[in-house]
Amino acid sequence: MTSRRVFIKSASALSAAIFVKGPLNTFAAAPLIGLQLYTVRDAMEKDPEGTLAKVAQIGFNSVENATYTGSEKFYGMDADTYKKLLKNNGLVALSGHYRVGEEMVKGAPQNGTILHDWQKAVDDASAVGLKYMVCAYLSDQERGTLDHYKQLADIFNKAAETCKKSGIQFCYHNHNFEFEAQNGVFPYDILLDKTDKDLVKMEIDLYWIKKAGQDPLALFQKNPGRFPLWHIKDMSKEASQTFTEVGNGIIDFKTIFQHKGEAGMKYFFVEQDKCPGSPFDSISQSIKFIKANLV
């Protein structure tokens, strides 16, 4: 027979694991801390299985993909194989990066882009379980004039409609070139204003926003709820303003995270384009700061 002392101790442990305002069968889940896999791109190319295992071991539980454009594969794998590999490592892919497809590669268009074979890209994303598909970057020829950005806004709206039919949200990821004014207007503002605010959301890259001399809090205030995805990477204190580990630079993430509700943030991903040594050392340092200060 269970003693009264053991029963009380067990009940207390159970209570500690339950949300204060939740039902008795609701348990607290670990916060989602994501990694943009571009950070470990070389390792993913050589050994995706071992790399994902290491990413999970470090403490990440979600990822954002970076390789579908052109290959129409997820790190050389079809959707089902990739999803199983993620599951085996306790990971989930929430988002993926894609390209527009205006730029030719060796004189030919690239499939798996917004303009070429987009439906297959959406179908594969759905099979993996992605919640977001993100236009990751515009090449020099895909930028152009404000009129061209208006055309891109139309392209994004149409791509987003296709995504919506599969329950996926379309987003656009910024760099700093979208804040190079043309006739006093930022191309980024064109993309915000000319796209449907419900169909097209933004993945805000806080490093590139800082690099462009912009204030993320002002963007959140002007466009509330428009920024469900965040890239968090820090800017070094040196004059070079190079990439550095989260918490190691000059970006005030603690203050920015206080405004995540206004921004509409759902998920964030650590990304460090260049690391001084092993990217695994860098992401280990970043996640340590995140767990201690941001989640």
String of DSSP letters for 178-192: GGS-BTTB-HHHHHH
Return d(Cα 118, Cα 96) in angstroms, integer. 13
Section 126-143 average pLDDT: 97
Section 250-254 average pLDDT: 98
CB atoms inside a 10 Å sphere around CB 276: 13
Return d(Cα 45, Cα 116) in angstroms, integer. 24
Section 217-221 average pLDDT: 98
Structural domain boundaries of the chain?
Answer: 31-293
CATH code of domain 31-293: 3.20.20.150
Return d(Cα 112, Cα 67) in angstroms, integer. 10
CB atoms inside a 10 Å sphere around CB 38: 19
State the burial class of residue 237 (Cβ atoms within 10 Å of its Cβ: 0-12, 13-18, 19+): exposed
> What's the pLDDT tens digit per position in 238-248?
999 999 999 99
Q: Give the confidence band of 104 by pLDDT, cuts at 50, 70, 90.
A: confident
**Residues near 166 by beta carbon (within 8 Å), at least 6 away in sequence:** 122, 123, 125, 126
Q: Give the confidence band of 18 by pLDDT, cuts at 50, 70, 90.
A: very low
Residue 8 has pLDDT above 80, yes or no: no
Specify the pLDDT at position 241.
Answer: 97
In the chain, % of residues over pLDDT 90: 87
pLDDT-wise least confident of 55-64, 104-113, 122-131, 177-186: 104-113
Specify the pLDDT at position 1.
Answer: 44
Report the sign of the C-alpha dihedral through residues 112, 280, 255, 294, in that order. Answer: positive
> What's the pLDDT tens digit per position in 256-267?
999 999 999 999
